Structure 1
Amino acid sequence: MSFVVGPFVALCDICQKPCLATVHGSYLEPDDENGPERYLRLASCQECGRGILLTQGVEETMDSRELTPPAVAWPDTTGSVGARVPAPLRREYEQARTCYQARAYTAVAVMVRRTLEGVCAEEGVKRRTLRQSLDTLQEDGKIDKRLVEWAAELRVLGNEGAHYTGSQVSPEDARDALNLAQAFLDYMYTFSTQFEEFKSRRAKRHRKES
């Protein structure tokens, strides 16, 4: 596995630019109901001295265990998604966050679009276009009209990022894309699941009382 042990380049929230950071210690967070296994590394910016928390996920393969590329978990310039989001979608979203931290804003838009495509694939929907797939999710009752509108805007932004037009995706659009993608994933896989579990518990309680 590729561990980050020496100085590495990270986007410092104080310096507002990529800086060298020094690792001071690490901790292996176990795989449990709160989330998947990952390595946390405490570091500091070599320019301003402020603390940085680096995270690397652990991926199981047929022959080995591999670490995902390092990403800054704190200070948290963009939100992370819940542990109930399927691992392939978390990887796509985390790559989008990594692009944002590297200030590759056009790449953020492309990765967010890939995340939407991944949601459709995870739900077994594959139409000719992404918009048609999203409409199918709505028809199946898996997402509501507002989420379709969010996803449609993210899809258009992703299209703009994927094609050479001479213009770049702005930092504000990239950040909004990440925030909307986070909300989309958490609605699909965290909040909806929690609501169904809530209804199930109430139904069981009512059956026992009746």
Structure 2
Amino acid sequence: MAFTYGPFVVLCSSCQKPSLATVHGSITESTHEHDHAQVLHLASCQDCGSGLLIAQGIDQGAEGEEFTSPVIRWPSPAGSVGARVPAALRQEYEQARVCYQAQAYTAVAVMVRRTLEGVCTEEGVKRRTLSQSLSALQEEGKIDQRLVEWAAELRVLGNEGAHYTGSQVSPEDARDALNLAQAFLDYMYTFSTQFEEFKARRAKRHQKNT
């Protein structure tokens, strides 16, 4: 994918419409992933004029640098996930969110299921079925029973969306699937990490005081 400094086609966080974003300046920053960096673009929506901060990932692939699709980082899109969620999963979830904005509700269910598959892959779990992979995550202590139940329902909804049954996923189910997927990702990669950092700081402080 050729790198470009825009204009980008984005779903504007302010006017909630697909629009071109004009880039006014860019910087490249490294991330905690050694084979991944990102470019941050200061841009503006050509429709409403609102300012936007757009991120575009740079991955070191076998054939050199590969650039991901641009994603708005600020203002935070409704339903966006935390920056600690791996870039590949953020992109999968963002596509689900764009499908919802486009009222492609069945596509939302499919993208949410792909997101769950991505979580298992990121965590190094690969079983014959997604259900078995999610069970393996629970056995490893990475998700609890409530998250297993959420994921199971999202998996079933995704299966319904992926196969022709003559019926469509409802707007309400698509919205709930998107919200549950957001909570699942933030629990896995934002809240759990913050909690571990909190415990580590307290343990270090306690060690200093004893």
- TM-score when normalising by structure 1: 0.78
CA contact (8 A) 1:12 1:45 kept: no
- Give ranges in structure 2 of 5+ residues lacking alignment: none
Once the two structures are aligned, what percentage of the paired residues are identical?
62
Aligned to 1:51: 50
After superposition, the C-alpha distances for 1:45-100 in whole angstroms (9 at most, x for unaligned) are 43xx35263443222223432322234444613212332x2333233223333433
Q: Secondary structure at the match of 1:38?
A: strand
CA contact (8 A) 1:45 1:52 kept: no
Q: Please give the alpha-carbon distance, in whole angstroms, between the structure 2 residues aligned to 1:5 and 1:87.
A: 20
Aligned to 1:31: 30
Task: Return the offset for 1:186.
Answer: 1.8
Q: Check 1:205–1:81 CA distance in 2 against 1; reply closer, same or farther (3 A cut).
A: closer
CA contact (8 A) 2:80 2:94 kept: no
More divergent stretch after superposition (149-158 vs 133-142): 133-142
Q: Check 1:26–1:98 CA distance in 2 against 1; reply closer, same or farther (3 A cut).
A: farther
> For 1:62-101, what aligned pairs fall within 5 Å after superposition?
62-73=62-73, 74=75, 76-83=77-84, 85-101=85-101
Q: Please give the alpha-carbon distance, in whole angstroms, between the structure 1 residues aligned to 2:57 and 2:124.
A: 26
Task: Return the offset for 1:113.
Answer: 0.8
Aligned length in residues = 204
Task: Return the offset for 1:116.
Answer: 0.9
Task: Return the offset for 1:17.
Answer: 4.9
Aligned to 1:181: 181
Task: Return the offset for 1:143.
Answer: 0.9
> For 1:144-159, what aligned pairs fall within 5 Å after superposition?
144-159=144-159
CA contact (8 A) 1:99 1:105 kept: yes
Q: Secondary structure at the match of 1:97?
A: helix
CA contact (8 A) 1:100 1:108 kept: yes
Q: Check 1:207–1:172 CA distance in 2 against 1; reply closer, same or farther (3 A cut).
A: same
- Give ranges in structure 1 of 5+ residues lacking alignment: none
Q: Secondary structure at the match of 2:59?
A: strand
CA contact (8 A) 1:27 1:41 kept: yes
CA contact (8 A) 1:13 1:75 kept: yes
- TM-score when normalising by structure 2: 0.78
Q: Secondary structure at the match of 1:37?
A: strand
> For 1:100-179, what aligned pairs fall within 5 Å after superposition?
100-179=100-179
CA contact (8 A) 2:9 2:21 kept: no
Task: Return the offset for 1:15.
Answer: 6.2
Q: Check 1:177–1:21 CA distance in 2 against 1; reply closer, same or farther (3 A cut).
A: same
Q: Check 1:27–1:70 CA distance in 2 against 1; reply closer, same or farther (3 A cut).
A: same
Q: Quote the RMSD (CA, aligned, Å).
A: 2.9
Q: Check 1:148–1:80 CA distance in 2 against 1; reply closer, same or farther (3 A cut).
A: same
Q: Please give the alpha-carbon distance, in whole angstroms, between the structure 1 residues aligned to 2:41 and 2:49.
A: 17
